[in-house]
Structures are given as structure tokens and as C-alpha cells.
Structure 1
């Protein structure tokens, strides 16, 4: 009787062991299937980030796509990335993209992109760029990107216009680009540190400076996820603050509401603040000596508006592209976007 009981116990233990092993195999198979399913989500989200929108004149390509990271993360790499917007006449090419996401959160994607990169437009503009490091994080949802942050260090770019024959070289130590959906609105932020530009056939040295801007575009959240294809034509928003700082207290700040009409012409009511009016005038005179008399007149006018002080706050108005200071001093015209 004891031997029979022991045999039954032994058989039960083997059945439990085999059942447990079977459950482990099934769970492992389900996990592997889930991992490969998640890779399809990452692939789709990365291609959305590249601009692959079938039927919209916008396409993106990731050549030699490969996956890695099993079992705890999902990694994707492309030997080359290309984006082509036929409607806008813009194409771009990049080298070596690497993206990854945790398997439990495949819509949170971190990616890096190696330089060089090139962008071309049908208007004859070519931009070639390289950098020491480019990293980005994306949060996606069903329709596309919901939030994006990109950081670029050691940026060097060359800009050439075949139509005008002009060219320029631009450098920046550190660049940050942020975009996110906030309900129906799109919030944008940009920061550039220690930027400099050298223009062909322009002997003067432009001052090194830093700039930042924070903008809200009303009802334009769809521009980030691809559902809004109208661009900025007819858009409205608020420039919360744009700052240009060229050092030694020489700072300009601009803020105010704005809108673009159906032709892409800008209108808006802005507040312009200038610190160190005199030093700003000296910097502009050194950069643009041919405009010395105009700059001198403008500096005196701003000083008068500031009651002789070196800091002034004035109204800057844009009326369908036409700029004016304090409502009556014309400054020129901004072309449509």
C-alpha cells in the first residue's frame, strides 16, 4: 500500500512538472510572439516619424532594416534613411538610424541618427549637415507622433542656393527641439546655444549668439501626428517668447499673438524689448557697415523712445507681411511662408 501511494505521488509530481514546463513553453511562445508583434508597432511608428504617409505625397524609407534587443527591448536599425515630400518638393537623406523601445512600452521610442545628412528642395536649396551627436525621444499614439524631443550637439551645416548663388556655413554647440500635442493645440520649443554663421562674399564676422523660442499653434496638434496636412497657411497662435542673446547683456525679446492668412502672409501684434540699445547698434554697425547711417538713426530713435535709457519696449506690428515699429515706422516686408 505504501509503495502504491509513493508511485501515485511520484506520477503526480511528474505530471505537475510537465504541466509547469508546458506552461513555461506556452508563455515563452506568447512572449516571443508579443515581441515580434511589438516590432511591427515600432517599425510602423518609426516610419511614421520618417514621414511615410501613403497617398499624401509623403514617403519615407529605411533600408536594410534589422531588429534586435530580444527579449527585454526592441531595437531597430537602418543603414540609410530617406524622406521625400513630393507636395512640398523637399527630400532628405540620412545615415545610420538606431531606434529602441522597451518591450512593455513600444510607443516610447528613443533613437539616434548619425551624420552626414542632406536636404534638397525644388527651389534650389541644398543643406548639408553633420553633428557629433543626435538623440531623440518619441511618444507615439495610434495616428502618429504625440510628443518629440531632439537634442543635437556639435552641429555644422552648409546652406547653398543654386538660384541666388548664395551660400552660408552655420554652426551651433547645442540645439534642442521640442514638440507636443496639448489637446487640439501644438506646443513648440527650440533652443540654440553658441550659434554662428559665415556668409559667402560677406567679409564681416557675424556675432556668436544663442536663441530660444516657445510657440503655441492653436488647433494644430494634427501637424505632429500627420492628420493635419494644411501646414501653417490659415494658422494662428501665440509666440510666448523669442530671445536673441549675443552676450554682454545684448538681448532682444519678442512676444505676442500672430496668424498666417491663406497666402502664408504673417500678421501679428508683438512686443519687442531690447536691452543695451547702444551696444546692439555698435554690433550691427560692425556687421553691416554699409548701413551705418540707418543703424545710427534707428539707435537714436530707440533711445528717444526709452527716454535716453539703454532698454526699450516697443510695439512691432505685422500686417500681411508688412512690418512697422510703434505703428508708424516702416521696417520692410516679410515674404510668405
Structure 2
């Protein structure tokens, strides 16, 4: 007689649990579809606001999906064109998504090519085999933006009948931006098997390079919000710049600033691995300074296999210790 009495409360608990699960899922589903509608409305609203300003933007065949584990927005192609500002960009398919358990960390996969046009620069055609962009937001302000690409390449995109100029190609490339102290911005860029086309650097030749750049850009957060039209008056600190090709490697660190007249000042420390191979690379890249480079690096043999010395740039004039390496013209 007691068995049915003990079974009844257990059945009630299971029924209540099932009801709670159904209610939670129903509430979650309603919330998901509400957010999906808000996202679509926000995208349509933004495009309409830009159109009112004379800016054409498009997210072709926009779709919102991913239910129930994520919220995803996809476009067959995206485009942005501002005739007044002479700025344009377009790319292939874009899929951006945020999982429900990480709503503040959306990511996107982007299909190339990316065509860009902006004042003061040649139109570019960038392409890649795979590109992934991710963001991370930690309340209230800490955040980051990162991208990684494979088979990344770039060339000019002439608007007339002239042939494009191949600029570079890299087997892989990564970049990450995050806030630093105050309004400064930390940046980290790395690449592998970078090949710079000789035509892009006045016929000079460089071997394939692996590299990494870690820098803090002064007032970089403000520069992101309002991009500057000139590099003049800007500065950064190179925490580390590392370039290598085979056994040869160079590491550089120190402050760099662009003067108001466009000339560069820098007070850097450089460490060289396999100086003779580095000298050969530099002499090939800067043939007008070949004799000075070979003579100067020959003296480095007395400083060991990995010598360190100051690399200074004063009003655009570059010197490695006592070795003159040429001059950098004013930048805009």
C-alpha cells in the first residue's frame, strides 16, 4: 500500500521539472527571436541612416539564424561607399555570430576579396584563403579586436586600364588590438613567409620574412574613434619588432615619433643574429649603400654572433651605430 504513495510525489517533481524546463526554453526562444528581430531592425536602420547622409551601404541577402545555440547574421556580400569622403570598401560573404554563453564575444568569418579606396592612398585589392575576426568585451571597458588570415595577399586596384601591381603575400598573418593605459592602444602583429614584391619597393629585393611587431600607440584609442589624415605629430613605442629570414634575425625596440615636418625621429636598440647574412640582405635591399653596409657589418664580427647596438633616426637619417644606412623622406 505504501509504494503508490512514494511514487506519486516523485512523479509530481518530474512533472514540475519538465514544466520549468519548458517554460525556460519558451522564454529563451522568445528572447532569441526578439533579439533576432532587433538585430535585423538595427542593420536596416543603420543602412537607412547612412543613405540619408548620402552614403550607400549594403548587406546583400541578410539572414539572421543560429537558433538555438547562437545568434548569427550573414550577408552574401557587404559594401560601403561614401562619395563625399571618397571612401569605399566591399567584400564577399560575411557571417558574424555570438554564442549564447559568450554574448559579448562575437566573431566573424569573411570571404575575400576586400576592395578599398580612401583619400591619400591607391585603391587596394586584398584577398585571402581564410579570415576570422573576433572581439572580446569584458565589462565595463576592457576589450580586444583580433583577426587572423591564411593565404593573405594584396595588390593595387587601378580604376583605369593599367595593370595592377602585386604588393605582398603572406602564408599567415595575425593582428590584435586592445586598450592600454589611458587612451593608448596596444597592438600586436605577426606574419609568416611574407614576400614583398620587388615592383612594390622600386625593384629592391627582399627574401621571405617571418616577423612580429608589438607596439603601444600614443593616444591610439582616440585615433581609432577619429582616424587622422596625417601621421605627422604621432608617436609610438616599439616594445619589440622581430624580423627573421633563415638564420638571420633582427630585433628592435624603442620610441619612434613623426615630427611636424614629416621627418622621423627614433632612438632604438637593435640586436642582430648572424650579422653577415643580415648584411647581405641589407646590401641587396639597399644597393646604393652596399659598400658602407658590408664594411660596417664586417666590424661587427668582433662583437660576437649576436651583437647589440643603437639604431638612431634623426630627421629621417638612419644610422646603425657608426654605419649610415640612408635616409627616410618626409611622411604625410
Partner of 1:276: 274
Distance in 1 between residues matched to 2:148 and 2:293, nearest whole Å? 37
Q: Report the Cα offset of residue 287 of structure 1.
A: 5.4
- Within 2, Cα distance between the matches of 1:114 and 1:176? 16
Alignment of 1:225-236 (within 5 A): 226=225, 228-230=226-228, 233-236=232-235
Alpha carbons of structure 1 residues 274 and 86: separation in structure 2 relative to 1, 3 Å: farther
Distance across 2 between alignment mates of 1:260 and 1:215 = 15
**Partner Cα distance (2:189, 2:143) in 1:** 17
In 1, Cα distance between equivalents of 2:152 and 2:127:
6
Aligned residues: 313
**Ranges of 4+ aligned residues in structure 1 off by more than 6 Å:** 23-26, 40-47, 52-59, 85-88, 141-145, 161-166, 201-204
SS in 1 for 2:281: helix
Does the 8 Å CA contact 1:83/1:92 hold for their aligned counterparts? yes
Aligned to 2:309, which of 314, 320, 334? 314
Q: Secondary structure at the residue paired with 1:300?
A: helix
Which residue of 142, 145, 148 maps to 2:145? Answer: 148
Per the TM alignment, residue 26 of structure 1 is displaced from its structure 2 partner at its CA by: 6.4
Pair 1:297 & 2:297 matched: no
What displacement does 1:319 show? Answer: 3.6
SS at match of 2:67: coil
Contact 1:189 1:215 in 2 (8 A): yes
Question: 1:280: Cα distance to partner?
Answer: 2.4
Q: For the residues of structure 2 that align with 1:334 and 1:68, how far apart are their CA atoms?
A: 52
Q: Which residue pairs with 2:242 in the alignment?
A: 243
Indicate if the aligned counterparts of 1:94 and 1:118 stay in contact, CA closer than 8 A: yes
How do residues 108-187 of structure 1 correspond to structure 2 at under 5 angstroms? Answer: 108-123=105-120, 125-140=122-137, 146-159=143-156, 167-184=165-182, 185-187=184-186
**For each residue in 1:43-96, what CA deviation from the matched residue of structure 2 results, as whole angstroms up to 9, or x when unmatched?**
79999xxxx999999986433221001122101101112245778744221100
CA contact (8 A) 1:233 1:261 kept: yes
What is the distance in 1 between the residues matched to 2:327 and 2:54? 35
What is the rounded CA distance, in whole Å, between the counterparts of 1:37 and 1:296 in structure 2?
70
Q: Which residue of 2 aligns with 1:258?
A: 256
- 1:218 matched residue in structure 2: 218
- Report the counterpart of residue 73 of structure 2 in structure 1: 76
Taking the aligned partners of 1:130 and 1:262, their CA distance within structure 2 comes to 35
CA distance in 2, matches of 1:81, 1:38: 22
* Deviation of 1:112 (Å): 0.4
**Aligned pair in 2 of structure 1 residues 140, 297: CA closer, same or farther (>3 Å)?**
same
Which residue of the partner structure matches residue 3 of structure 1?
none
Q: Alpha carbons of 1:126 and 1:272: their partners in 2 closer, same or farther (altered >3 Å)?
A: same
Cα distance per residue 1:90-146 (max 9 Å; x no partner)? 422110001110124322112101112222234461322222111121124799993
State whether residues 232 and 331 of structure 2, in contact with CA within 8 Å, keep that contact through their aligned partners in structure 1. Answer: no
Counterpart Cα distance in 2 of 1:316 and 1:56 = 48
TM-score normalized by the length of structure 2: 0.75
Deviation digits for residues 25-55 of structure 1, max 9, x if unmatched? Answer: 76555423422454477679999xxxx9999
Contact 1:316 1:327 in 2 (8 A): no
SS at match of 2:331: coil
